[in-house]
Structures are given as C-alpha cells and as structure tokens.
Amino acid sequence: MQFKHEFKWISVLLSILVLWVPALPSAAETAGAEYDPGSLNYELVWADEFDTDGLPDPARWAYNTGGNGWGNGEQQYYMAEGNAAIENGILTIELREEKSSYYTSARMITKNLGDWLYGKIEVRAKLPSGRGTWPAIWMLPTDKVYGDWPASGEIDIMEHVGYDPDVVVQSVHTKKTNGGSAVSKSTLVPGAREEFHVYGLEWLPDRLIFTIDGEQTHVYEKPEAAEDEKVSNVWPFDQRMHLLMNLAWGGTWGGREGTDKKCLPAKLEVDYVRVYQSPEIMALTGQE
C-alpha cells in the first residue's frame, strides 16, 4: 500500500536524523566552552566580617577537634573552645602551650554551614611568627564524591611555615598529584607576619586561579586524563567544598626545622572571609 511505502521512508529518514544528532556536552564541558573568565560577574553569597566581639558565629563555623597528629605529625590538640575569639573586628586563632609539651589551637570549618561548587574565595589575614608554626587556609570536599583524601581533592589557598617566614605556598592535591608531587607554587610575601594580605582563589569548572592581594600567583588548569585513568584522578573539583582555617604546631612540614617555643602564644589573625559566585557559572553548571 502507498501508506506503508511512505511510512517506510519516513522511518528511514528519522533513523538518519537520530544518527546525525550529536551528543550534548556535560554541564562542565559547556561551562568550559562558553564562558570568559575575564568577564564574569560575581555576587557575594557568604561572608564573615568578624564585627561582633566574642566567639565565632556558630551559624557559620564549626570545629574539628582532637590531637591525633592529623596525618602530618602535628603536635597540637585542636579545641572547640578557648582558642578562637573575635575582638575589634579581628578573628584570632591562638596556638599556645598549656603545660610542658602540651599545645592547643583551633581548626575552624564551614562544613555543612558554607559549602560551594565554584566561586571566588577571599581571606584577609596576618600570619604568625615563629619556627614551628604552620597556619593554613584551605578547602576540602564536603561529600567526598570520589572517596577519602586525596581522591576527592584538596585546595590550599594559603599555607605558611614559620621557618620560611616570607614565603606563602598555594597548592592542589589530587589522587595523581599528592604528597611530594602536589602541584604547588611558592610566592615571596615580605611582611606576611606583620601586615594583612588577601589570599584568594577563583575556582572555575576548568581551572583554579590563585591570587595574593588580587595578583595572580598560580593557575592549575584541568588536565587531560590518561586513557587508563579516571578524570577525577586529576580533577576532582566538580563537587561541593568547604573552607578550613587552622594554626598547627610542628609536624612533618611545620616542624621540619624544629620548633621554638619562645614564639608562643602565636596567632593567625583574620579580618574577613568572603565568598562570591558567578550567576553565569551557576547557570552553565545547573546550579540555578
């Protein structure tokens, strides 16, 4: 019948069209292809200006506690009370010796209070002095989508060790680039212990841009994964992450040149923490 003949040709044409239609890119691929990092707009989505004297805001900050070395041989015990306070618009994390060879400090976190996927983070801080101090401003995955550390990644916005006083290190840890092979950049910051500086990260779907006082210091671009490895091995940064701020004592890096207790108590001082996100990136990655 004529109808059956026409229907047969329509079916053939539809099959050709189905074969011709290209696969749609993922949200991350779309974002990487369709945005200009230099022209993105950003909106403030989370901040702590530390304007109220007393304890840090429990709606913004929680604490990691304990004294198990934290995988780095750190010597301090992290407390939930007594080592972090706000005065005159400045948050102070204080590291001190409580008694012979017993040290306390604080490790503040925004986990489940401030968690983000992509954005710009700025922290204005003044670093401590003294051999043995090891302050850090950094990010960890909230949901550990790819497994425990380092498989789900780590971003170090600022690390500093007291025996190298004018140098700030910014690093990226992944399953492939971890430990001695971590992708790091050291930057000379004279006066890091005497003056406040703004340590920043712009986290995009295809790169991490590190800054100090608004000047670009380091870029980690999303690498191509080898044929026999997962993309997450080199780029696990497509999941929510949260912020941490802590001041450690000693350890495998902070104590590499020994420790000098004469510097205690030591202080990591923070003027503000600000987090911005781009509506363009939010839309491209399906976060509207």
Q: Alpha-carbon distance 124 to 119, whole Å?
A: 17
Task: Please tell me which residue in 74, 94, 154, 202 is annotated as part of the active site.
Answer: 154
Task: Tell me if residue 215 is catalytic.
Answer: no
Distance of CA 88 to the CA centre of its chain: 27
Task: Tell me if residue 154 is catalytic.
Answer: yes
Between β-strands 43-48 and 207-212, what pairing exists: parallel, antiparallel or unpaired? unpaired
Phi/psi at 78 (5° precision): -85, 130
Task: Please tell me which residue in 94, 159, 202, 269 is annotated as part of the active site.
Answer: 159
Phi/psi at 170 (5° precision): -125, 130
Q: Alpha-carbon distance 255 to 76, whole Å?
A: 12
Strands (E), the chain: 43-48, 62-64, 76-78, 84-87, 90-99, 102-105, 107-109, 115-116, 119-126, 133-141, 154-159, 167-173, 183-188, 197-204, 207-212, 215-221, 241-249, 266-277
Task: Specify the 3-state DSSP secondary structure of 58.
Answer: coil
- Reading the block at residue 267, the tokens are 């202080």
Active-site annotation, residues: 154, 159
